[in-house]
Amino acid sequence: MKKVVKFGGSSLASAEQFKKVGKIIHADDSRVYVVPSAPGKRFDGDTKVTDMLLHAYQTASEGNDVDEELKAIKARYDEIITGLELKDFSLDDDFAEIKKNLAENPQSDYAASRGEYLNGKVMAAYLGIPFIDSAEVIFFNEEGNLNDYKTYKRLTERLAQNERAVIPGFYGMGKDGNVKTFSRGGSDVTGSIVARASRADVYENWTDVSGFLVADPRIVPDPKPIKYITYRELRELSYMGASVLHEDAIFPVRSCGIPINIKNTNAPEDAGTWIVESTCQKQDYVVTGIAGKKDFCTIFITKAMMNSEIGFGRKVLQAFEENNISFEHMPSGIDTMTIVVHADEFIDKEQSVVSAIHRLAEPDSVEIESGLALIAVVGRGMKSASGTAGKLFTALANKGINIKMIDQGSSELNIIIGVENRDFETAIKAIYSTFITK
């Protein structure tokens, strides 16, 4: 049995948290590869080390001195090093190098990645096992995506030489020879890559909640944990904002059937959530999870006889493609079509998109609206349960919430609804209490 264990920033925010992590690793001999994040928030209002480093980069790129900022970051690590009583260990040389690099050639990915790099060094010293610098084993291609071939070749070789090791999360080496990071939260992706490369039996992802919860705990108080969830369900939920696991983290393990177990560092005895390819486990509820995001825009297009005009949809979508905007959903009627996009991608280009739609598709009208929130109600049990949509709409109607859009995926795995931003939290609470009964 071989396990890869990733610990999130909240699990490594202080010496006290590190000690819990040490206990977890020592409690199970099969926890052989450890992927740490940078120290996260110790309390509400605290700053993650990654954000402190990005701030230092900003200061350096404006040509200013970063001594004070690096001192504050070093203090975070020194508290951990002292609390763990690590003798003959210091990060002085590493900080001198970071200071030099930030002054001579400030790069934001390099700066952000140092949080995991330094924490990896502390972790390796604490556990007494080798440190593998991710820049030597994880590679990106020219487009900035993972270079699968090179990564799995090098990483597999290095892991084969090390029965146990610490591999810091979040970064690798870019095609240009500079350090490059994944997007925020990307240590989850590193853990998944290490699990695949080592052909682990389980990828344990340790965080500060007892698994994937049915809804965001910041919206629904004390939501129930999900015991089993499929990769596909999870993909829908994490894409729609359930932030506990990076949305790309399932791909490496999914392709080789390695389950992910989300666990709580502060309550290690809790079962957590199993993310699996498929399962015969009985579900407690028809709905597996609920997640959502605010701030979408809709582009509502009308044209008489739209349905019979071959190529109409393509022309409309070309307008978005020309403006380099990806679309989220496209519900349509007989003479109408709505395109839903992220506001932050769309707002600056709205007039250019509208004129392109007119030029390419010659519609009767184009109306745009902002302030839409999307909520995904996801559940593999939905296709065999009748009345789910009816229950959902009744729950929202009872709260006086106007549904602005409905999109039921053809997989019958999810129903996406659009509501006004201001109704977002109320809608999630209403859906939760309708489907998740005591």
Ligand X SMILES: N[C@@H](CC(=O)OP(=O)(O)O)C(=O)O
Ligand Y SMILES: Nc1ncnc2c1ncn2[C@@H]1O[C@H](COP(=O)(O)OP(=O)(O)O)[C@@H](O)[C@H]1O
Under the rule (CB under 6 A), what is the footprint of ligand Y? 8-11, 37, 40, 185, 207-209, 212-213, 215-218, 242-244
Pick the closer one to ligand X by CB: 3 or 380.
3
Pick the closer one to ligand X by CB: 33 or 432.
33
One symbol per residue from 129 to 168: x for binding ligand X (CB under 6 A), - otherwise; what is it?
----------------------------------------
Q: Per rule CB under 6 A, is residue 48 in the interface with ligand X? A: yes
Give CA separation, 351 vs 93, 128, 367, in Å. 52, 59, 11
327-330: long-range contacts, CB 8 A cutoff, minimum separation 24: 328/296, 328/374, 329/374, 329/405, 329/407, 329/416
From the list ligand Y, ligand X, none, pick the one residue 186 interacts with, judged by a Cβ distance below 5 to 8 Å according to partner type: ligand X
Pick the closer one to ligand X by CB: 187 or 298.
187
Q: Report the nearest approach of ligand Y to the CB of residue 383 (Å).
A: 22
Pick the closer one to ligand Y by CB: 152 or 171.
171
Q: Write the single-letter amino acid at 111.
A: A
Q: Which of 8, 252, 272, 363 binds ligand X (CB under 6 A)?
A: 8
Pick the closer one to ligand Y by CB: 40 or 174.
40
From the list ligand X, ligand Y, none, pick the one residue 375 interacts with, judged by a Cβ distance below 5 to 8 Å according to partner type: none
Residue 304: partners with Cβ closer than 8 Å, 6 or more residues away = 335, 364
C-alpha to C-alpha distance for 388 and 249, rounded to whole angstroms: 29
Q: Is 387 exposed, middle or buried (0-12, 13-18, 19+ CB in 10 A)?
A: exposed
Residue 261: partners with Cβ closer than 8 Å, 6 or more residues away = 202, 203, 204, 205, 272, 273, 274, 275
Q: Report the nearest approach of ligand X to the CB of residue 170 (Å).
A: 4
Cα atoms in the 13 Å half-sphere on the side-chain side of 182: 25
From the list ligand X, ligand Y, none, pick the one residue 374 interacts with, judged by a Cβ distance below 5 to 8 Å according to partner type: none
Q: Which of 14, 50, 210, 261 binds ligand X (CB under 6 A)?
A: 50
Q: Which of 106, 168, 169, 172 binds ligand X (CB under 6 A)?
A: 169
Q: Report the nearest approach of ligand X to the CB of residue 134 (Å).
A: 12
Q: Report the nearest approach of ligand Y to the CB of residue 9 (Å).
A: 4
From the list ligand Y, ligand X, none, pick the one residue 115 interacts with, judged by a Cβ distance below 5 to 8 Å according to partner type: ligand X
Pick the closer one to ligand Y by CB: 134 or 338.
134
Q: Which of 106, 168, 185, 252 binds ligand X (CB under 6 A)?
A: 185
Q: Per rule CB under 6 A, is residue 252 in the interface with ligand X? A: no
The distance in angstroms from the start CA to the end CA of the chain is 37
- Tell which residue, 120, 114, 43, has the closest CA to residue 74: 114
From the list ligand X, ligand Y, none, pick the one residue 48 interacts with, judged by a Cβ distance below 5 to 8 Å according to partner type: ligand X
Q: Report the nearest approach of ligand Y to the CB of residue 57 (Å).
A: 21
Q: Are the CB atoms for 401 and 370 separated by under 8 Å?
A: no
Q: Per rule CB under 6 A, is residue 170 in the interface with ligand X? A: yes
Tell me the residue nearest to ligand Y as measured from the CB.
8
Q: Report the nearest approach of ligand Y to the CB of residue 290 (Å).
A: 8
From the list ligand Y, ligand X, none, pick the one residue 293 interacts with, judged by a Cβ distance below 5 to 8 Å according to partner type: none
From the list ligand Y, ligand X, none, pick the one residue 320 interacts with, judged by a Cβ distance below 5 to 8 Å according to partner type: none
Pick the closer one to ligand Y by CB: 11 or 338.
11
Q: What are phi and psi of 248, to 5 degrees?
A: -90, -5
Q: Report the nearest approach of ligand X to the CB of residue 14 (Å).
A: 13
Q: Are the CB atoms for 142 and 77 separated by under 8 Å?
A: no
Q: Per rule CB under 6 A, is residue 38 in the interface with ligand X? A: yes
Q: Which of 3, 4, 5, 9 binds ligand X (CB under 6 A)?
A: 9
Pick the closer one to ligand X by CB: 188 or 423.
188
Pick the closer one to ligand X by CB: 10 or 198.
10
C-alpha to C-alpha distance for 424 and 216, rounded to whole angstroms: 12
Q: Are the CB atoms for 111 and 56 separated by under 8 Å?
A: yes
Kindly identify the residues of this chain, within the stretch 107-126, that bind ligand X according to CB under 6 A.
115
Interface residue list for ligand X (CB under 6 A): 8-9, 37-38, 40, 48, 50, 115, 169-170, 184-188
